[in-house]
Amino acid sequence: METGAGLRVLFDGAAVLGAPKRRGALPRVRSPRVRPVMRCGRRFGPYRLIRKIAQGGFGRVLEAVDTRDDLPCALKAPLRCDQTSIDLFLREYELVSRLRHRHVMPIARVEVILGLPVIAYPLGRESLDERITRPMPAELAVDYVRQLFSGLAHIHARGLIHCDIKPENLIVFPNELLRITDFGLARDGHIGSLNTNSGTPEYMAPEHADGRVSTRSDVFSAGLVACLLLTRQFPERPFTWPLPGMERFAARAPAMTEVLRRATALDPQERYIHGGALARAFSCARRLDAAA
């Protein structure tokens, strides 16, 4: 759809959330000859750019306001403009558009502005990485874990492997809503290679570091995030249970502790098979601990 002023809307929210009807149904976006400039304080197509939130290896995320509806958003754009970078960037859109869950980041809009594809996400308050630096009631930490496991269960049920579960990729919204984001490294479990060691070394399962990902390697990373939330310390490998800093939690909540121990087993066969099994085990354990 051409709307003039160099803006081409690929999909808007409603259509995106209903997608995909067909895999690979993404229109091809040709790399622009010159990279359009995105400057804070200026407009970029319909977006008013406010500030840079983050810049990673492949993309940058800016806080922006969509002037069409005056809604704040996190606007993600590829860092480089060559065809491979553009294709990889839109692959993230294609994967996210298969997901629809309370604890997975939805896409508000995807469009091409002056030749550059951008994805607008609802603007969260902060990442869990930032949130974790401040005091957090134990019940809230447990509830973030529940939300993370529940989102992961959905991702796996849709056949995807996230490959980069870590606090920076978990965004906190008002009312303590947690959403999983950043599908830049995600894999389709049905098609494509599951051989990759891209990810974040600290959170990687041993077999992921050796180049092989599966739903079990996501379970490991999510288990580590849970341990970090509950102990406020990053556990050292090989883990000794209860983890340092988790003694009081382990005494109060032995069943939940056992779930986390299994989730972070170094042997993938000892772990839960996928996010669904992990989420179910965690919610059973939570009930057991509450009843004890």
Ligand X SMILES: Nc1ncnc2c1ncn2[C@@H]1O[C@H](COP(=O)(O)OP(=O)(O)OP(=O)(O)O)[C@@H](O)[C@H]1O
CA distance to 43, 51, 72, 271, per residue, from 38 (Å): 8, 10, 16, 44
Which CB contacts under 8 angstroms, 24+ apart, belong to 57-63? 58/85, 58/88, 58/89, 58/184, 59/89, 59/184, 62/38, 63/123
State the binding string over 153-172 for Mg ion (x if CB under 5 A, else -): ----------------x---
* Choice between 92 and 182, CB closer to Mg ion: 182
> Which two tokens mark 67?
């002037």
Report the 10 Å Cβ neighbour count for 76.
26
Q: Taking CB within 5 to 8 Å according to partner kind, which of ligand X, Mg ion, none is near residue 124? A: ligand X
Does position 97 interact with Mg ion (CB under 5 A)? The reply is no
Site string for ligand X, 45-84 (x = CB under 6 A): --------xx-xxxx-x------------x-x--------
CB atoms within 10 A of CB 33: 7
Residues 239-268 that bind ligand X (CB under 6 A): none
Which residues 151-170 are close enough to bind ligand X by CB under 6 A? 168-169
Q: Which of residues 213-252 bind Mg ion (CB under 5 A)?
A: none
Q: How far is the CB of 23 from ligand X (least distance, A)?
A: 22
Q: Which is nearer to Mg ion, 171 or 259 (CB)?
A: 171
8 Å CB contact between 257 and 249:
yes
CB of 61 to Mg ion, least distance (A): 8
Please enumerate in sequence order all residues whose Cβ is within 8 A of that of 60, keeping only pairs 6 or more positions apart, or say none.
38, 52, 54, 76, 77, 79
Report the residue number, 169 or 264, with the smaller CB distance to Mg ion: 169
Residue 92 interacts with Mg ion (CB under 5 A)?
Answer: no
> In whole angstroms, what is the distance from residue 226 CA to residue 240 CA?
16
Choose the contact partner of 156 out of ligand X, Mg ion, none; CB within 5 to 8 A by kind. Answer: none
Residues near Mg ion (CB under 5 A) = 169, 182
